[in-house]
């Protein structure tokens, strides 16, 4: 099988497993796991923040940040296709009791002016706008890089209005690999940020959030409430730290694979693919002209050894990663074009 469902399917390498097996551990709930502490210090330094917190998943990281930023009845502004709104099981409402005011972006990107129009006036009968959420890169936008200058403008607006700004940076490493902009530069404009180790970086488990010391101290409180307090978590942290130190530069290879795949599929008259919009490792493939349902095409491709997932409306999604070679991707592209003709 050539698995292009997600970069979350990556498995730890032998070297990463060795690092995990040799990890020094302690009780992280007591703050005594040296491997976790090293990871958190490294992440905080990399992102230019005072403090970081290791969490089991990106969803938990995002939801903890939303919880710290808001009170029940508040409002969050986010893009309509973003991860926190679509793929976190309604957790914003369930855990924080806040509502979301959505913007329809361009491949997930929206402007400070569009946000400005949605900020609620100070009236007792309206919800309070307390948080703006960004996503970089944007999953359902097709791996789009949120422009740095727009993030900067968003930060200026948010801080001027005393509104929090959170960045879901699960694939921030991919954006940095393309633009050459440092993680700390991206993070400098936001109040909180989440980053993931278990996607393109290849670690088996884990994300981190970062912010001020006071913010992360409060986040630690909610991590425990949400069930994310782990004990000898250094075994996992060692894998994440190995991923940070060894696997960020190679993300460019995944982007090359995605660009090749987009170019190959764009030649198929039944598929809608925009190669120019493929900036990182995600390719969205429009299938409306095939006249077939996504589930039907996914099943046919699975029979030929190709695994994809549904994308946005009437599209399939392919994600390149470290566990598929360029040869795999080329075989997948040619097979998809043979199956869909």
Residues 247-286: b if buried by 16+ CB within 10 A, e if exposed: bbeebebbbebbbbbbebbbebeebbbeeebbbbbbbbbb
pLDDT of residue 254: 98
Average pLDDT, the chain: 98
DSSP letter assigned to residue 271: -
State the pLDDT at residue 305: 98
The predicted structure's pLDDT at residue 103: 98
Cα of first residue to Cα of last residue in the chain, in angstroms, is 21
pLDDT single digits (tens) 266-283: 999 999 999 999 999 999
Flag residues of the chain having pLDDT under 70: none
Give 159-194 pLDDT, tens digit per residue.
Answer: 999 999 999 999 999 999 999 999 999 999 999 999
User: What pLDDT is stored for residue 330 in this prediction?
Assistant: 98
* Model pTM score: 0.96
Dist. CA 289–CA 307, nearest whole Å: 21
Instruction: Determine the pLDDT at residue 87.
Output: 97
| Per-residue pLDDT, 180 | 98
Q: Which domains does the chain have, with CATH numbers?
A: 11-246 (3.40.640.10), 250-339 (3.90.1150.10)
Listed residue (63, 32, 94) closest to 232, CA to CA: 32
DSSP secondary structure letters along 284-337: EEE-GGGT--HHHHHHHHHHTTEE-EE-STTEEEEE--TTS-HHHHHHHHHHHH
């Amino acid at each position: 099988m050539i698995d292009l469902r997600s970069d979350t399917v990556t498995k730890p390498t032998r070297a990463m497993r060795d690092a995990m097996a040799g990890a020094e551990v302690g009780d992280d709930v007591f703050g005594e796991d040296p491997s976790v502490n090293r990871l958190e210090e490294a992440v905080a330094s990399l992102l230019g923040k005072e403090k970081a917190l290791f969490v089991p998943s990106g969803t938990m990281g995002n939801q903890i940040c939303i919880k710290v930023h808001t009170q029940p009845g508040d409002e969050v502004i986010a893009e309509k296709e973003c991860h926190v709104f679509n793929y976190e099981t309604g957790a914003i409402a369930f855990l924080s009791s806040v509502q979301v005011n959505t913007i329809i972006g361009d491949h997930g990107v929206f402007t400070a002016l569009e946000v400005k129009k949605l900020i609620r006036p100070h009236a007792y009968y309206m919800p309070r706008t307390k948080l703006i959420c960004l996503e970089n890169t944007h999953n359902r936008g097709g791996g789009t890089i949120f422009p740095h200058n727009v993030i900067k403008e968003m930060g200026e607006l948010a801080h001027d209005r005393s509104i929090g700004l959170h960045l879901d940076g699960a694939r921030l490493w991919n954006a940095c690999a393309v633009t050459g902009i440092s993680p700390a530069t991206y993070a400098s404009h936001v109040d909180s940020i989440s980053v993931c180790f278990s996607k393109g970086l290849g670690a088996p488990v884990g994300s981190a959030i970062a912010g001020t010391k006071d913010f992360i101290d409060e986040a630690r409180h909610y991590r425990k409430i949400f069930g994310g307090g782990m004990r000898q978590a250094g075994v996992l942290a060692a894998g994440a730290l190995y991923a940070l130190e060894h696997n960020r530069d190679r993300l460019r290879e995944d982007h090359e694979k995605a660009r090749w795949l987009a170019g190959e599929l764009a030649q198929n008259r039944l598929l809608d693919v925009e190669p120019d919009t493929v900036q990182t490792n995600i390719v969205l493939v429009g299938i409306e002209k095939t006249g077939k349902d996504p589930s039907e095409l996914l099943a046919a491709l699975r029979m030929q050894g190709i695994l994809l997932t549904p994308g946005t409306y009437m599209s399939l999604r392919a994600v390149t990663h470290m566990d598929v070679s360029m040869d795999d991707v080329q075989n997948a592209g040619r097979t998809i074009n043979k199956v869909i003709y």
